[in-house]
Structure formats: structure tokens, C-alpha cells
Amino acid sequence: MAEGRRGTAFREADFIWMAEWGFDFVRLPLSYWCWSDRNDWFYIVEEELEPVDRAIEWGRRFGLHINLNLHRIPGYCVNGGDLEPDRLFTRSAESRRRALEAAAYHWRFLAHRYRGIRSEHLSFDLLNEPPFLRDRRDRGAYLEVIEHLVKSIREVDPDRLIFVDGADLGQAPVEEVADLGLVQSTRGYLPKMVSHYTADWVPPEEFESVEPPAWPMRDASGVVWDRGRLRAKLIDRWQPLVARGVPVHVGEWGCFNTTPHAVALAWMEDLLTLWREAGWGWALWNFRGPFGVLDSGRRDVDYEDFRGHRLDRRMLELLQRY
């Protein structure tokens, strides 16, 4: 439902298989377009949320925690944000106000709808991957968004467990909200030269190198990326938050299917090792598809037939070890 197409439904089999394989956390990226309209943010078709209702129920039935993330929220999406009529992150205060009012309306609606479900079964993730914050004004705007959305939810459902993405596409901790009782969500997509090799939706300047991936790997500046550098870039900068008792969770990570399989698995194992040492949970993007364990479309994998799907058994077993 991240793409915003009406009538999209989750598959019960996915939840069954995740539970069978020993996983316990499912992050559902959602677009408000599935139940509303970008031209009328305060219009909600409740029936269109029934697939989400079913997913939450499957989570309870199969022992999976469900995390609802607004991948597209009124006023912002990391993909195609210019399609929104007003923006959460803009220099225009009036445009920000309109978008924030609508974003809060949707979270209040969801909080009302799912108020009776305990936080052990269901949590909310405010919005996906806020933009790079260029200066203090940008940072202040994001803090305003976080505080307003959290307040809107807690006015309806005071005990709801809430996640907030780090700044700069989830990559930077937000220490200013450490006292709000939130889980902070980070990412595991560095270096992009490994995680997103040839991905055409990533801006060219974000790639450390365009050479075929290896692991460890030297980037175009001569810097060696290995487990130690991953620790410095993805773990150490979050330690001040951890020291203050803030839980940290890896909301997304994964490796695009054009990276050689052996390289992807070696890189993934280093990340999984670091997160286990840190005590952090994680959510793989995605379950089925070019980053996942099912139907990933990799050319160099000896897939196993699994109930009509192509299973990357080696990747699955690696994930299960952690």
C-alpha cells in the first residue's frame, strides 16, 4: 500500500510464512492515498482501511507486531513529494500549517480506529524518511511536525507506542525529542554503492562509488568500507540517544538485487552482527521483491521453489541466525 493504489490488499500467506520462519515484527508502509485524496485531505473512505484492519488481526493471530508507517503522509513523501498540494517541509509557513493540520487529522483518525489494540501488538511510525535538514530552521520544522503528531495521537490514545524516523532520510538521530518516550528509527543503507548498486531512483551524488560492488569495498575517495566503518557510521552516532534510554530500531534496510549475491550476504552479515551487538531490532525492505527473500529477481541465486514462489534460502537462513 506504499504506492497509494486503491484496492491493494495484503496477503495472509506472507504473515503466516514470516511467523513460521521465526520473525516477529512487520512494518507496513502505507500511503494515505489508499483511503483519502490529495485534493481533499479531510475526506476518508473508511472501507479502504479494511486491508489494514485484516493485517493487524493477522499480526495478532500469528504473533507478529504490526508497525503502521505513513510512507506517504499529507504534505510529504520521499518519493514524489512534489505531488502533494502543500508541503510539511517548505519555507512557506502557511503551506506547512495546512499540511501539518491534515497530517495530524489522519493520525488522529488512525488512533481512534485502533485505540483498543495494545501497543504490544501495534505501533505507529509517524512518517517515512524526512528530507535532509539543511539548517536550524529545517530542523525546527521537523521538530514541530514530530511534537504535533505525537500530541495528536496521544490525545486519543495516550499509551500508543510511537516510532519516529531519524532526520536526513532516517540516518541522523534527533536528540531534541529524546524525552518524548518515542522509539527512534534508523536505516541500514550504507554504503549506497553496495545497498543500491545501479538503483536509478537514488541521486547519483549519493553513491560513494559506481564500481561493481565488493565487500569490504574501497570507495571513490579511497575510503575502505568494512564492518568497522559501518559501526562508526550506523551505530556510534546513535549512542548518545541510547545512553539517554531511547530505544533505537532499524526501520528499513536491505540490498538491491543487482548487487552480487555473495557480496550482499557478506555485507548483510556484518550489519546483522552489529545490530545484535547493539541490541537493536530491524525490518527488512522488503519481504517479496528486489530486496527480499521471495521473488527477488536476482540473476545469481539458486532459488528454491516455495509454494509457487522463488525463495532465496541462503538469505533467509542468514536472517534467521540473527
Distances (CA, A) of 46 to 36, 50, 188, 287: 9, 7, 34, 27
Number of structural domains found in the chain: 1
**Model pLDDT, residue 174:** 96
Cα(85)–Cα(91) distance, integer angstroms: 14
Cα(126)–Cα(121) distance, integer angstroms: 17
Cβ atoms of residues 161 and 123 within 8 Å: yes
Residue with cell 527473500: 293
pLDDT tens digits for 251-305? 999 999 999 999 999 999 999 999 999 999 999 999 999 999 999 999 999 999 9
265 is a domain residue: yes
pLDDT tens digits for 248-257? 999 999 999 9
Cβ atoms of residues 35 and 49 within 8 Å: yes
For residue 7, what pLDDT band results from cuts at 50, 70 and 90? confident
1 is a domain residue: no
Task: Give me the DSSP letters along 150-176.
Answer: HHHHHHH-TT-EEEEEPHHHHTB--GG
Instruction: Phi first, then psi: give them for residue 154, nearest 5 degrees.
Output: -75, -20
3-state secondary structure 213-266: CCCCEECCCCCEECHHHHHHHHHHHHHHHHHCCCCEEEEEECCCCCCCHHHHHH
Cβ atoms of residues 154 and 160 within 8 Å: yes
2 is a domain residue: no
The closest alpha carbon to 70, from 94, 35, 42, belongs to 35
**CATH number of the domain where residue 254 is located:** 3.20.20.80
pLDDT(215) > 90: yes
What percent of the chain is predicted at pLDDT more than 70?
A: 99
Provide the grid cell at 293.
527473500
Distances (CA, A) of 283 to 57, 152, 188, 245, 286: 19, 26, 10, 21, 8
4 is a domain residue: no
56 is a domain residue: yes
The closest alpha carbon to 188, from 171, 176, 205, belongs to 171
169 is a domain residue: yes
Domain hosting 285: range is 12-320
40 is a domain residue: yes
**Which DSSP helix (H) or strand (E) runs through 149?**
helix 136-156
**Which DSSP helix (H) or strand (E) runs through 309?**
strand 309-311
Cβ atoms of residues 201 and 220 within 8 Å: no
**Model pLDDT, residue 2:** 61
38 is a domain residue: yes
User: pTM of the predicted model, to two decimals?
Assistant: 0.96
